[in-house]
Amino acid sequence: MNDISLMNLQAGNTTVSAAAIEAFAGQQRGSLLDAGDASYDEVRAIWNSMIDRKPALIVQCAGAADVVRAVRFARDNRLLVAVRGGGHNIAGNAVCDGGLMIDLSPMKSVRVDVAAKRAWVEPGATLADVDSETQSFGLAVPTGINSTTGIAGLTLGGGFGWITRKFGLTIDSLVCADVVTADGNLVRASETENSDLFWALRGGGGNFGIVTAFEFKLHDLGPQVTAGLVVHPFKDAQTVLEQYRQALETAPDELTCWAVMRAAPPLPFLPEEWHGKEVLVLAMCYCGDAASAETATARLRSIGKPIADVVGPCPFAGWQQAFDPLLTPGARNYWKSHDFMELSDTTIGILLDAVRRLPGPECEIFIAHVGGAAGRIATGATAFPQRNAHFIMNVHARWREPAGDEACIGWARRLFEAAKPYSVGTAYINFMPEDEGDRVAAAYGSNYQRLCEIKRRYDPHNLFRMNQNVLPRGEAG
Ligand SMILES: Cc1cc2nc3c(=O)[nH]c(=O)nc-3n(C[C@H](O)[C@H](O)[C@H](O)COP(=O)(O)OP(=O)(O)OC[C@H]3O[C@@H](n4cnc5c(N)ncnc54)[C@H](O)[C@@H]3O)c2cc1C
């Protein structure tokens, strides 16, 4: 290896000698890659293909000691650092131009203690890795709806999905975390050790250090649940959404139903004449006992005249993968998100208007229904910004060619602006794209100032800045 010029924290360049790089590489159990390595392009690629950044070095960590040495190397040379878990984040902060990318994806182990109902999870594990190990024993951690997502980024932002209303956000099951802080030390964060850091990790993203292990409490679940899709013609969307909203008012915590609006993909159970036509999909999961599933889902399933209803018993781990084929890596993606307290008639009207102008066959709007157990925890109890919102909207523009950038991004931004007056003002930081750096303070709402204080203590020089960045100085971004 030769001397290498790397991007530093002042956005200038620092030259690191070949000897220093070789000494660093020699200590690591994992590999150190540069642009000359055959796997370099594959390792720097992330889920959102709009992000095409080229780190000067990539360190693939095999364990916590590798992460400690990587952080010390970055700190000593004042290098720009990016941290990659599952590589799914829309903003693309898992990879940086010119700096050091700390790649945790080789660290994938998941160890389950069945008797104690606990799981120790390394930060390169995906949701599928976690489900595969926990569901083998009829246990689960509440996570998200796309199984290739990384557990690390999802957890640090909060994490919600099909069983959140029953068991809380992913962070509500977090018992403790091992963290490498900006000073290069490995510490433990829990309710009793470094409790301020533990508070910040539960929603504060990658701002406070690199988590090398998560310990989760596990919940009894399944392995069978009742789940599936009810597909409605878009012409009925207004009435269906009004009744959906009503049905959710009395839904038990075991029942979660999200509304998705898009052009129908060629799903095998949909008559061919519907493929490519706009539809409203009610995607639901009931995680209570099978005997009560029919009654619990009846109200939602009796709405309107659906084109198809494929709700039934299925393995939870399989349902967690149901949306994977529509969310594969390699496409261009841009997201905009709002938190809503309610789905007002006006908001519904704005959403439907945007569906009439969908800029492409893969673009969609989804409304996630949260609340339940996640909403019964005080907003100030963890860094996660908003416990009171009942709905989280994500406008998901997705397309294939750069020529579509303007139309697709423009569509998402216009809908975001139109819906803004009806939103709460906070936002789920895991849904924020790279151009929303100035929204971070507002996104965290009343929790932002405490996050800034903790950032000052644990990362005063903002080594961990490739994220939805909480500024140590405390001013809005
Ligand atoms: C298709 C798709 C579906 C999704 N569905 C859901 C959903 O249902 N529910 C939900 O809650 N979210 C969902 N998300 C959002 C998801 O939670 C975020 O994208 C999350 O950041 C992904 O984590 P990752 O580890 O894969 O990402 P990465 O891009 O690898 O990491 C994201 C950021 O997290 C930080 N980070 C990662 N690992 C560590 C670590 N070990 N220590 C410290 N910081 C770290 C870094 O700042 C990094 O930039 C979805 C995302 C996608 C793309």
| pLDDT tens track for 267-311 | 999 999 999 999 999 999 999 999 999 999 999 999 999 999 999
Q: Which residues, including other chains, have CB under 8 Å from residue 365's CB and lie 6 or more apart?
A: 260, 261, 262, 351, 354, 355, 393, 394, 395, 396, 415
- Three-class secondary structure of residue 316 per DSSP: helix
Helix axes 64-77, 18-27, angle to 10 degrees: 160
Domain assignment present for 132: yes
In the chain, the N- to C-terminal Cα span, in Å, equals 38
Distance from C-alpha of 416 to C-alpha of 394, rounded to nearest angstrom: 9
- Mean pLDDT along residues 470-477: 74
255 and 135 in a single domain? The answer is no
When divided into structural domains, the chain yields a total of 3
Domain assignment present for 452: no
153 and 95 in a single domain? The answer is no
Looking at 206, 221, 236, the residue that finishes a domain is: 221
pLDDT at 475: 60
Helix H or strand E segment including 167:
helix 164-167
Separation of CA 149 and ligand 1 centre (Å): 6
* pLDDT tier at 477, thresholds 50, 70, 90: very low
Structural domain harbouring 359? 224-431
Would the pTM count as exceeding 0.75? yes
Distance from C-alpha of 428 to C-alpha of 336, rounded to nearest angstrom: 10
Domain assignment present for 328: yes
* pLDDT tier at 232, thresholds 50, 70, 90: very high
Place of tokens 């090398």: 212
CATH number at 393 reads 3.40.462.20
197 and 311 in a single domain? The answer is no
118 and 85 in a single domain? The answer is no
pLDDT at 10: 85
pLDDT at 389: 82
pLDDT at 351: 98
Partnered with residue 232 across adjacent β-strands are 280
Reported for 245-254, long-range contacts at CB under 8 A and 24+ positions apart, including other chains, are 245/342, 245/343, 247/299, 247/300, 247/303, 248/369, 248/390, 250/299, 251/165, 251/296, 251/300, 251/369, 252/288, 252/296, 253/165, 253/166, 253/372, 253/373, 254/165, 254/166, 254/286, 254/287, 254/288, 254/296
Q: pLDDT for 83-116, tens place per residue? A: 999 999 999 999 999 999 999 999 999 999 999 9
Domain assignment present for 442: no
Domain assignment present for 404: yes
Q: Which residues, including other chains, have CB under 8 Å from residue 417's CB and lie 6 or more apart?
A: none
- Structure tokens that stand for 379 in this block: 């907003």
Quick check: 476 pLDDT over 60? no
Distance from C-alpha of 372 to C-alpha of 255, rounded to nearest angstrom: 9
95 and 124 in a single domain? The answer is no
Ligand 1 site residues, Cβ closer than 6 angstroms:
47, 83-90, 93-94, 104, 123, 144-146, 149-150, 152-154, 156-157, 159-161, 205-206, 210-211, 327, 430, 466-467
285 and 408 in a single domain? The answer is yes
Give, using CA atoms, the residue closest to atom 53 of ligand 1: 88
358 and 265 in a single domain? The answer is yes
231 and 369 in a single domain? The answer is yes
Separation of CA 70 and ligand 1 centre (Å): 21
| Phi, psi torsion values for 243, nearest 5 degrees | -75, -30
Looking at 221, 247, 275, the residue that finishes a domain is: 221
Looking at 163, 198, 221, the residue that finishes a domain is: 221
Give, using CA atoms, the residue closest to atom 41 of ligand 1: 211
Helix axes 405-419, 345-355, angle to 10 degrees: 170
CATH number at 92 reads 3.30.43.10
Domain assignment present for 315: yes
206 and 262 in a single domain? The answer is no
Q: pLDDT for 346-391, tens place per residue? A: 999 999 999 999 999 999 999 999 999 999 999 999 999 999 988 9
Quick check: 231 pLDDT over 60? yes
Separation of CA 468 and ligand 1 centre (Å): 11
Closest CA to 207 of 460, 447, 439: 460
Distance from C-alpha of 213 to C-alpha of 59, rounded to nearest angstrom: 18
Domain assignment present for 94: yes
201 and 349 in a single domain? The answer is no
CATH number at 127 reads 3.30.465.10
Atom of ligand 1 nearest to the CA of 464: 47
Closest CA to 395 of 343, 433, 426, 424: 433
Q: What percent of the chain has pLDDT over 90?
A: 96
* From 35-44, 193-202, 468-477, the region with the lowest mean pLDDT: 468-477
| Phi, psi torsion values for 427, nearest 5 degrees | -155, 155
- Structure tokens that stand for 434 in this block: 């790279």
pLDDT at 473: 82
136 and 83 in a single domain? The answer is no
305 and 401 in a single domain? The answer is yes
Separation of CA 145 and ligand 1 centre (Å): 12
Average pLDDT score over the chain: 96
Atom of ligand 1 nearest to the CA of 160: 11
Residue type, 64: A
Domain assignment present for 344: yes
- Mean pLDDT along residues 435-458: 96
- Structure tokens that stand for 441 in this block: 């303070």
pLDDT at 393: 97
